[in-house]
Chains A and B, each alone.
Chain A
Amino acid sequence: MKGHRVITATIGMLAALQLSLEVRAEEPVDSSGWLCNFCTYAAGWFGSLDIGPGYASDSSLKFADYRGIEDEDAFMSVYGDIHFRNSDGRYFDLYARNLGTHSRQLEIRGGREGRFELHVAYDEIPKYRGFGTTTPYRDAGNGQLLLPPDWVQAPTTAGMSSLTDSLTRASLHTLRKNFVVGLSFKKSVNWRYELDVQHTEKNGTRPFGAGVFTIQSSHFPAPVDFSTDRVDMSVEYSGERAHMRVGFGGSWFNNGNASVSWENPFNPIGNTQLLRAALEPDSNFQQFNFSGAYRVTPGVRLLGNVTIGQIKQDQAFLPYSINPDFDDLLLPRASLNGKIDTGIFNLATRLMARLSPNLKLSARIKIDERDNSSPVNFYTPVSYDYVLNQDTANRPYSFKRNRYSLELDYRSHPFMRWRAGVKRNEHARTLQSVTDTKERTWWGELNFNHWATAQLRLRLEASDRDNSPYVQVINPGLRENVLMRKFNLAGRDRDRFVIELDLSPADRLSAGISYYMSKDDYQQSVLGVLHSEERSFSIDLGYALNNKLGLHMFFTQDSFDSEISGAGFPGATAWMARTEDRFTTFGAGFTGKLSDKMDISLDYISSDSRGRIGTDSGSGEAPFPELESDLVNTRVRLNYTVNDQWSWILIGEHENYRSKDWQIDGLGNDGISAILSFGGESPDYSINLLRLMASYRF
């Protein structure tokens, strides 16, 4: 894949202005003679190393997701914190976590306080998709997926007689590896320089589905061979009155596979034995930014931020089709030569003014722009590598967002603040059904803060959004129903309510309660989203029985509901769908001392979700089966101190996970006659994880 030089032209501008009308001199404090009697500074080398075996009692790819413990097997647990400090400010820090698994993290920092720091880090993130998935496809390399030589093509999956014998595990798994080197140093008290270089690789496979002909399709594991290089650098000045930073960020993305091709498992129509799709193109992004602050007087401060950047993509196009029947079909250009100026004109201005000792006013203007100047041409798409379509022009979308806000903050009492504000968002788009939306928001907030014993926050917010006339956008694709209103473009009324209460009635007891509600109504929409609502309720409790035992508990209940309307064709009776997602999370635990040598902690967490979908077309249809997931995790940690240097750490963890998903359960590879699918089942496991580590402290 070819890399591309980048011409940068993103323009972004952020400016912030803070004015304080209260003229109150801030006397500098001489802290040179201060001495902290509570600080104990270690010198020399110190830290801890925790090493030992671990064992997983069973295997599940869902359990391995992000954890990296894939097999029922032993593994090594390696953790470490190593530090060095000396009196002239030199230091070294090493942090290691999960070195024995594919979820490993290593971070090293070293330098001299106030002078320089070198930073090196490496981490891996494993991602698993598809549980029990299988496929007849074999990866022939270079993004080519072939069927076995004895594959029997058929008009439906039921006729694919060699399917069962051809299946192998479809490993839908990626591993992200991330390597960072950073350097920062101060040339003097005022100037600081930073440089970060990052290389990220993501390799493996991911699920992909693509049409074979009309309503036939097949699923296959598409290759992932991504790499991204990033460079961030900045120069920062901190003076008596001025503070500024100039930075540059660059990102270069490379995909090792420009396309994926796969054999047609169905009876091919015409010359469609082999089919092909494009994968993500190489691209690059550069951005310059400037931030600054200037204290005009002790009470007047000026702040600003400017950002300029550009994304470019010029990957060579594939032919219209891999089908040789279309070899003579000429492309209007060899590549897109795509260019987007991002944040393109991003201007924010903040004005903060203290009108009186108890009254503050702030105002803000922010402008974001995305200008996609990719060339527009007419293309002649070949659907399913077989059907020649009408000429269609590409649509490079651009937009501009202007946001204005005004806020008053009044302190009526040392413990009581009242806040209120108004916001206006203007969003202009090109090439979409609605060119302009304008949203106004009013909000009010009460804050009560009685030191550490009681805090209350109550917020009400209401907004309404209008849109310019809705027009039909025909190209590309088919004509939308004239009554459809896309929810991001449609008129909307939104109400929000938040209450948060934190109490500490006694030294040993703390409690927090919060409730959040957000409700959207699309009253002008006939088809599309009509209503959506989100609610969340949480309780947190913490109690310290004594110096040796502390208890904690939390409970959260979330819900997310929506109503969506559609119609089979213009003029048809509308159908209605309702979705309800419910989440309940509970946790409890304690930390304590069993003896002078033995510490214990226990944590229990459960997280349940239920998803309900019902579609009513007027015939009294039953709702879909519930989508379910139940996670229960119990974790016990024992720490036995042998002496000042050595201790033993025993961690036992039990995780139980059950889920049901009617979209995949029982489907198999041939459950849909027109789709050769992955099969697989919802994850379901019960796994014990045990780690025993010797811990050495020095």
Chain B
Amino acid sequence: MRLGGGLGWFGSRHETAEVPCASCHQVHRVRDRVFDSLAQQEACIDCHPKRRSDILKTSSHPLRFGNMSCSDCHDPHNGDHDFLLQKSSVNETCYTCHTEKRGPYLWEHGPVSEDCTLCHQPHGSNHPTLLKRRPPLLCQQCHSPAGHPSTAYTSDLTEDSFSNRFMLGRACLNCHSQVHGSNHPSGATLDR
């Protein structure tokens, strides 16, 4: 599908910033660089240099190798959607490829259904699976029931310590793997 088609251009971020067509597009070429997934990145990074740093981070989408391009998620012509996204919301954009996450699940996780970027940094991170912070702190931002969710896990990670089973390996995901939601009738705590 073509991007935008010009319908959402007026009032879009690029239009109001007075970005001329030739800033991104090339004429007199067999193939305009924006239609090549690797070359397109150069066009985008010219004005968004932080994204070059992001795609080199240890956890990132596969832009560095050209398996993806910026325009897989963003439509540079369309101002109808936030962040010039292809789809009408962040989650709908993510569900384009991560279809399995869309549910609806029997047991939903509130922030997951609201906005994937509450936990994930889609452009790159030094934490696994593009997470913004390392679990368990990522989870402890919001969860505080007395017991293991609210314990102060410290750097004593020896085998006999209380911390190690909640800090090491997959941390909270050692048990609660179903953080995006569970369709198991016994999955209320997202561990089934």
- From A159-167, A460-468, A661-669, A688-696, give the one contacting chain B: A661-669
Closest residue of B by beta carbon distance from A617:
B152
CB neighbours of B16 from chain A (8 A): 362, 407, 409, 419
Within 8 A of B (CB), among A99-119: 103, 105
- From A49-57, A624-632, A642-650, give the one contacting chain B: A624-632
Instruction: Please classify the interface of chain B as helix (H, G, I), strand (E, B), loop, or mixed, using the class held by over half of its residues.
Output: loop
Given known contacts A196-B1, A243-B6, A663-B167, A564 and B140 CB-to-CB distance under 8 angstroms: yes
Task: Decide: B168 and A285 in contact? CB cutoff 8 A.
Answer: no
Using an 8 Å CB-CB cutoff, how does the interface string of B134-157 with A read, 1 for contact, 0 for none?
100100111111111111111111
Indicate whether A71 reaches chain B with its CB closer than 8 angstroms. Answer: no
| Chain A: interface size category | 35 or more
Within 8 A of B (CB), among A346-360: 346, 348, 350, 352
Indicate whether B40 reaches chain A with its CB closer than 8 angstroms. Answer: no
Using an 8 Å CB-CB cutoff, how does the interface string of B156-173 with A read, 1 for contact, 0 for none?
110100001101111101
Given known contacts A210-B191, A567-B150, A607-B56, A677 and B169 CB-to-CB distance under 8 angstroms: yes
Task: Decide: A311 and B104 in contact? CB cutoff 8 A.
Answer: yes
Closest approach, in angstroms, between the C-beta of B157 and any C-beta of chain A? 7
CB neighbours of B134 from chain A (8 A): 579, 611, 613, 627, 663
CB neighbours of B58 from chain A (8 A): 609, 629, 631, 659
When chains A and B are docked, how far (Å) is the Cα of A30 from the Cα of B180?
57
Could you list some 12 contacts between A and B, CB below 8 A?
Answer: A83-B30, A196-B1, A243-B6, A313-B103, A317-B106, A478-B147, A480-B144, A481-B150, A514-B50, A536-B53, A585-B53, A674-B165
Task: Decide: B103 and A627 in contact? CB cutoff 8 A.
Answer: no
Task: Decide: A583 and B126 in contact? CB cutoff 8 A.
Answer: yes
CB neighbours of A497 from chain B (8 A): none
Task: Decide: A399 and B133 in contact? CB cutoff 8 A.
Answer: no
Task: Decide: A528 and B146 in contact? CB cutoff 8 A.
Answer: no
Using an 8 Å CB-CB cutoff, how does the interface string of A461-489 with B read, 1 for contact, 0 for none?
00000000000000011111101101110
CB neighbours of A93 from chain B (8 A): 30-31
Indicate whether B3 reaches chain A with its CB closer than 8 angstroms. Answer: no
Task: Decide: A67 and B65 in contact? CB cutoff 8 A.
Answer: yes
When chains A and B are docked, how far (Å) is the Cα of A421 from the Cα of B123?
27
- From A140-148, A263-271, A367-375, A589-597, give the one contacting chain B: A367-375
A103 interface neighbour in B50, B67, B127, Cβ under 8 Å: B67
Instruction: Please classify the interface of chain A as helix (H, G, I), strand (E, B), loop, or mixed, using the class held by over half of its residues.
Output: strand
CB neighbours of A319 from chain B (8 A): 185
Task: Decide: A278 and B182 in contact? CB cutoff 8 A.
Answer: yes
Indicate whether A449 reaches chain B with its CB closer than 8 angstroms. Answer: yes
When chains A and B are docked, how far (Å) is the Cα of A489 from the Cα of B29?
50
Task: Decide: B169 and A667 in contact? CB cutoff 8 A.
Answer: yes
Indicate whether B33 reaches chain A with its CB closer than 8 angstroms. Answer: no
Closest residue of B by beta carbon distance from A621:
B154
- From A21-29, A332-340, A543-551, give the one contacting chain B: A332-340
Task: Decide: B142 and A484 in contact? CB cutoff 8 A.
Answer: yes
Indicate whether A505 reaches chain B with its CB closer than 8 angstroms. Answer: no
Given known contacts A18-B10, A209-B173, A243-B6, A251 and B99 CB-to-CB distance under 8 angstroms: yes
CB neighbours of A623 from chain B (8 A): 155
Within 8 A of A (CB), among B80-119: 80, 88-89, 92, 95, 97, 99-108, 110-111, 113-115, 118
Indicate whether A7 reaches chain B with its CB closer than 8 angstroms. Answer: no
Task: Decide: A66 and B177 in contact? CB cutoff 8 A.
Answer: no
When chains A and B are docked, how far (Å) is the Cα of A346 from the Cα of B82?
12
Task: Decide: B177 and A672 in contact? CB cutoff 8 A.
Answer: no
CB neighbours of A18 from chain B (8 A): 10-11
When chains A and B are docked, how far (Å) is the Cα of A552 from the Cα of B187?
53
Indicate whether A288 reaches chain B with its CB closer than 8 angstroms. Answer: no
CB neighbours of A652 from chain B (8 A): none
Most-contacted residue by chain A among B58, B153, B155, B175 (CB, 10 A): B58
CB neighbours of A365 from chain B (8 A): none
